[in-house]
Amino acid sequence: MTRRTVIRGADILTMDPALGDLAGADVLVEDGRIAAIGRLPPVQGADLVDATGLVMLPGFVDTHRHTWQTVLRSALPDADVAEYATTVLDGFAPHFRPEDVYAANHLGALAALDAGITTLLDWSHIMNSPDHADEAVRGLADAGIRAVFAHGAPGLGRDDWFGADNTNLHPADIRRVRDTHFSSDDQLLTMAMALRGPELSSMESTEHDLRLGRELGLRISVHVGMGALGPLCRAVERLDAAGLLADDTTYIHCSNLTPNALARLVDTGGTFSISAAVEATLGLGSPPFDRLAALGARPSLSADIETASAGDMFSQLRAAWAVARLAGHARLAGGDDAGLPTVRDLLASATVEGARACGLDGKIGSVTVGKEADLVLLDLSRLNVAPANDPAGAIVQAADTSNVAGVFVAGVPVKLSGRLLDTSATGRALRLGAASRDYLYRAAGLRQAKGALFVAPPRPGTGGHRPPEYAFRRGRGSTSG
């Protein structure tokens, strides 16, 4: 029997250039797909959602998040990348049990849905065992989110992650995970490969891992251009020389790539994931919004790490908006007439460009007939944005999670009237997350202060652990990272 839902009376920012914006329009969803858009007659037997006065847009897409760190939210608000690596990869990651990965992924996915993020690329470099991989997938699946599970390397410390001479190969368990959980690419959860790349491993390892991912038919997601490592490692140039640049790859950060390297990524069809807040605060370099725009490319957006950044897309939109406009103004002052990014550009980055970076633009990313109904309803009549004279401007510049009134994933409502529908799942996720956090702090040797408050990890130079001599910080050599 066909399942039908009519969402009636919304003002729609379709993000589809052929449709534009629609005032007071209806959307008919049949078996999870958008079947019709416009002023529709009554549909017999359909569930009705009254969206009068609400703004609809496609669900947000986060294209790069280490979701396993959700239980460590805001643990390192003042960290740079060296402190992050020391504390998270050395201090916490080796202690993660499979149940901690489940707790983090489940809590992180539910929180993403609550904030209007309907698709999440989980960049999961906590594959300490096959059980860790299975629990990561289960945590996403149980939340009901659309997700791309990007299978990564173990999180057993920085020695597994940093160093251009690191010859570790990607875990062979990726084959089992592909066969067990992702035998079909036409499901709510799909798979990608989270690649360390030549800034964080040897070129031989990178070539092996890339060929493995492509043999398995997976999209690739890789960090490049991070801090001092970008110009030192010449990662893109090395990939290009080996003939490994392709349109199946999303490049993360890209902050310190040379102009020629960035142009080659665009020319070879690559997509981009930018984490403006993290790049600015951890010291990874200037997010390349202006440089990509000059090349005719637009990136997607990501939260990256909730240990040092907010996990909702509104925060990421505002951070991206600020740095993109700053860079644009600097170009204009220098005589470059490339123009300034608009709020519509940023909304595209958070929706349709995110879908493209995940290889899902044929399924999601715009409110278009035939696509799956991943939709968000926003209430812009609330005090923080009303009167919303420009809906796109209000969303990018002023809205927050309190404005998320409804969320649908493949036509299934997961949030209505401002509340997640499965309240029992929310309570359970919060309990599991708190218990996991308590265990991990004890296991890492950090003492509890008062109640739920914990003492932050000691900062370098204050009697705590010494940071490794990362190339990020010291700007010398590429054999450490």
Q: Taking phi first (over 0 means left), then psi (-120 to 50 degrees means alpha), and beta for anything else, what does residue 395 get?
A: alpha
Query: Which strand (E) or helix (H) includes residue 409?
Result: strand 404-409
**CATH number for position 303:** 3.20.20.140
* Domain assignment of residue 434, yes or no: no
Report the mean per-residue pLDDT for the chain: 90
Q: Judge if 104 and 18 occupy the same domain.
A: no
Of the residues 405, 420, 435, the one at which a domain ends: 420
Q: CB–CB of 166/200 below 8 Å?
A: yes
* Domain assignment of residue 10, yes or no: yes
* Residue 232: predicted pLDDT: 65
Q: Judge if 137 and 77 occupy the same domain.
A: yes
* Residue 472: predicted pLDDT: 29
Query: Which strand (E) or helix (H) includes residue 289?
Result: helix 289-294
Residue 176, amino acid? R
Residues constituting the chain: 481
Q: Judge if 330 and 406 occupy the same domain.
A: no
Q: Judge if 314 and 226 occupy the same domain.
A: yes
Q: Judge if 353 and 413 occupy the same domain.
A: no
* Domain assignment of residue 467, yes or no: no
Q: Judge if 107 and 214 occupy the same domain.
A: yes
Distance between CA atoms of 292 and 159, rounded to whole angstroms?
33
* Domain assignment of residue 454, yes or no: no
* Domain assignment of residue 146, yes or no: yes
Secondary structure class of 64 (helix, strand, coil): strand
**CATH number for position 38:** 2.30.40.10
* Total count of domains within the chain: 2
Of the residues 375, 404, 420, the one at which a domain ends: 420
* Residue 1: predicted pLDDT: 81
Domain with 91 in it: 60-357
Q: Judge if 328 and 235 occupy the same domain.
A: yes
Q: Judge if 131 and 173 occupy the same domain.
A: yes
Q: Which residues of the chain have pLDDT under 70?
A: 157-165, 228-232, 338, 447-481
* Residue 82: predicted pLDDT: 86
* Residue 330: predicted pLDDT: 86
Question: Which single residue is written with the structure tokens 């390892």?
Answer: 205
* Domain assignment of residue 458, yes or no: no
Q: CB–CB of 128/96 below 8 Å?
A: yes
User: 439 exposed, middle or buried (CB, 10 Å; 0-12, 13-18, 19+)?
Assistant: middle
Of the residues 310, 331, 357, the one at which a domain ends: 357
* Domain assignment of residue 457, yes or no: no
Q: Judge if 227 and 305 occupy the same domain.
A: yes
* Domain assignment of residue 140, yes or no: yes
Q: Judge if 91 and 179 occupy the same domain.
A: yes
Secondary structure class of 56 (helix, strand, coil): strand
Please enumerate in sequence order all residues whose Cβ is within 8 A of that of 44, keeping only pairs 6 or more positions apart, or say none: none
Q: What are phi and psi of 430, to 5 degrees?
A: -65, -40
Distance between CA atoms of 92 and 69, rounded to whole angstroms?
9
Closest-CA residue to 132 (of 158, 104, 157, 110): 104
Query: Which strand (E) or helix (H) includes residue 325?
Result: helix 313-333
Terminal Cα-to-Cα distance of the chain (whole angstroms): 56
Question: What's the whole-model pTM score?
Answer: 0.92
* Residue 445: predicted pLDDT: 86
Q: Judge if 308 and 169 occupy the same domain.
A: yes
* Residue 448: predicted pLDDT: 46
Q: Judge if 307 and 378 occupy the same domain.
A: no
